[in-house]
Amino acid sequence: MSSMDRRTFLEFLGKSTVGMIFIPPLLSSCTSDEWKTIVPIAPASVDRIVLADGFFYDLLIKWGDPISATDQFGFNNDFNAFIPFDPAKPDDGFLWVNHEYIHSGFVSGYWGKGAKSREQVEKEMYAVGGSILHIRQKRNGAWEVVKNDPLNRRITGMTDIPFQWPTPIYGRTSAMGTLANCAGGVTPWGTFLTCEENYDSFYGERDFQTGGLKPGSDKWYEQFDNPPEHYGWVVEVDPRTGAARKHVALGRCAHESATVASLPDGRVVVYSGDDANDQCLYKFVGSEPNTLEKGTLYVADLEAGKWLPVDFAQQPLLQQHFADQTEVLIRLREAAHLLGGTPLDRPEDVEIDPHTGAVVVALTNNLAKRNFYGSILRIEEDGGDHAALHFRHDTLLTGGPETGFACPDNLAFDAGGNLWFTSDISGSYMHKAPYEDFKNNALYVLPRQGPQAGQILRVAVAPTDAEFSGPWFAPDGRTLFLSVQHPGENTGRPDELTSHWPDGGDSIPRPSVITIRGKALDELQMSFE
Ligand code: FEO
Ligand code: CA
Ligand code: CA
């Protein structure tokens, strides 16, 4: 990190003018003399997880593990979020896990030859969506899934999910399933949000100029006649009942994430990136407390520092191009660009700094613009008010050989306010120019305080072809839930597996959730005297 980057980061962490929102409790305090520094690890090309000293991991659950008498854990787990049943007992509760997409060979045995059968498509539909799990921490500190607990459920690509909207969406009031579930969020009323990101690979996408369908690579439309308009939404799931609904008011795009901020009057704001080259950043501001059913969707204009309402009633320009607000929301990308939303370099995860209220956005890369390494954007809302219509912004960190990371994707703040992020160098570019020196994808932390404040520390390396995703901290900050997604993704033939993680030997790779704990994690969250 250059001295300028380091100073900027320290200023960002320590002196932001944004209002204080919430400061989680720190574990204890120590002096700089007592602080054990973390020795960051080097890039690695290995088929296992490498961790810096002071951290260790346990495997919590992997693809195919039974969670009940009838259901199994899905494929390519991404977002994780934990909600305790009782805030006073933070070691026992619901873990929600997204299952984003499939590797047809592993999931359905379809290796690209001939037509995919209905049975194969059904297997793939079962593998996506999400898992609701009852998990708890044992006396020795390790976490376990409570097997066969009646609370354990699957939501899949076949679950009937109603639209939360007054009129039907493309002729129906509910969709068949959810898919492409990437990142998400948690509401203050104890539900999970899961985002449908690259939905077009399953049922394709409509060309709104011609009305024709652009096919998707997974070809589910050959077996099921579901319109693309039924996907690309933010889905809310109540873990107590398993009930889910698609919130049309939040718009339709390749939603990466749905990060929730609470307003003092009980309304919520949801930030979401649309992960594709030159797509936009959005925020939804609810108009009533404790619900996402009604509110206004805005798109970010970074040049003017303004949030622009994507609202048919307020925007004559939208009235010229669309029939009504339903069409605006279905064709959100087109509406956002018409209004002057700023094209960004793949806006992915969004997090809110718990100490300053600043909104932090991962901009992964934009290969078409030769932005190979990506950056992390910071937005400060006027007066620290998440409902504000004006903001300032700057670049918090820039990826590249000098800073040691590339393609930031998921973000998380821990209880000590340290910023963690994962890298997502795509499988087709990993180990090739200009990414070869970064080797496998990794997990990084930027300590907020102490002698390593502002340094970018690589603390974990993922197995072959995998990315780490869905970082989420337990309420006490002493466990990091983390997905190990798509190990062995570049496998093209069943007899040429590129990874055997986690079971080793000749086994096929299995995406899994791990828990990272350790003295180094505890120490990172101590306050300084
Ligand atoms: Fe599913 Fe943009 O990552
Ligand atoms: Ca992502
Ligand atoms: Ca990703």
Return the half-sphere exposure (C-beta side, CA atoms, 13 A cut-off) of residue 323. Answer: 4
Q: Show the tokens assigned to 448.
A: 């907020």
Q: Are 16 and 9 in contact (CB under 8 A)?
A: no
Q: How far is the CA of 192 from the centre of ligand 1 (A)?
A: 18
Q: For 212-245, b where at least 16 C-beta lie within 10 A, e where not — what string?
A: eeeebebbbbebbebbbbbbbbbbbbebeeeebb
Q: Cβ neighbours of residue 238 under 8 Å, at least 6 residues apart?
A: 190, 191, 244
- Measured at the CA of 397, the angle between CA 447 and CA 11, to 5 degrees, comes to 60
| pTM beyond 0.85 | yes
Which tokens go with 292? 């996402």
- Torsion sign across C-alpha atoms 436, 441, 445, 446: positive
Residue pair 489/465 in contact (Cβ under 8 Å)? The answer is: yes
Report whether residue 100 contacts ligand 1, using a CB cutoff of 6 Å: yes
User: From CA 292, how far away is CA 7, in angstroms rounded?
Assistant: 39
- State which amino acid sits at residue 237: V
Q: What's the rounded Cα separation, in Å, for the pair 345 and 398? A: 12
Cα 84 to chain centroid distance, Å, stands at 20
- Cis link prior to 215 (omega < 30° from 0)? no
Query: Of the candidates 15, 9, 19, 5, which has an alpha carbon nearest to the alpha carbon of residue 387?
Result: 19
The answer to whether 423 and 430 are in contact (CB under 8 A) is no
Tokens matching residue 478: 């002493």
Assess whether the previous peptide bond of 494 is cis (omega < 30° from 0). no
Rounded CA-CA distance 244/195 in Å is: 12
List the residue whose alpha carbon is closest to atom 1 of ligand 1: 182
CA of 256 to the centre of ligand 1 (A): 6
Which is nearest to 527 in space by CA: 29, 35, 36, 23?
Answer: 29
- The CATH number assigned to the domain with range 3-491+505-524 reads 2.120.10.30
Which tokens is 126 given? 């079962």
Q: Which of 227, 278, 279 is nearest to 255 (CA)?
A: 279
Helices (H), 16-109: 104-108
**Cα-based angle 310, 313, 319 (whole degrees, multiple of 5):** 80
Which atom, in ligand 1's list, is nearest to the CA of 256? Answer: 2
pLDDT (tens digit, 0 to 9) for every residue of the chain, 529 residues total? 433 344 444 444 443 333 333 344 455 676 766 667 999 999 999 999 999 999 999 999 999 999 999 999 999 999 999 999 999 999 999 999 999 999 999 999 999 999 999 999 999 999 999 999 999 999 999 999 999 999 999 999 999 999 999 999 999 999 999 999 999 999 999 999 999 999 999 999 999 999 999 999 999 999 999 999 999 999 999 999 999 999 999 999 999 999 999 999 999 999 999 999 999 999 999 999 999 999 999 999 999 999 999 999 999 999 999 999 999 999 999 999 999 999 999 999 999 999 999 999 999 999 999 999 999 999 999 999 999 999 999 999 999 999 999 999 999 999 889 999 999 999 999 999 999 999 999 999 999 999 999 999 999 999 999 999 999 999 999 999 999 999 999 999 999 999 999 999 999 999 999 999 999 999 998 866 5
Length of the chain: 529
- 523 Cβ closer than 6 Å to some ligand 1 atom: no
Q: Which ligand is nearest to the CA of 182?
A: 1
Ligand nearest to the CA of 255: 1
| Ligand 1 pocket member 182 (CB < 6 A) | yes
Q: Residue 384's CB: how many other CB atoms inside 10 A? A: 16
Listed by start position, the domains of the chain span 3-491+505-524
Cα of 203 vs centre of ligand 2, distance in Å, is 20
Going from the Cα of 181 to the center of ligand 1, the distance in angstroms, rounded, reads 9
d(CA 244, CA 464): 34
**Most distant CA pair in the chain: distance in Å?**
67
Total Cβ atoms within 10 A of residue 172: 14
- DSSP bridge pairs for 397: 376
Distance of CA 332 from the midpoint of ligand 1 (Å): 18
10 Å CB burial of residue 191 (0-12, 13-18, 19+) is buried
What residue type is 208 in one-letter code? F
Can you say how many angstroms the Cα of residue 398 is from the centroid of all Cα atoms in its chain?
20
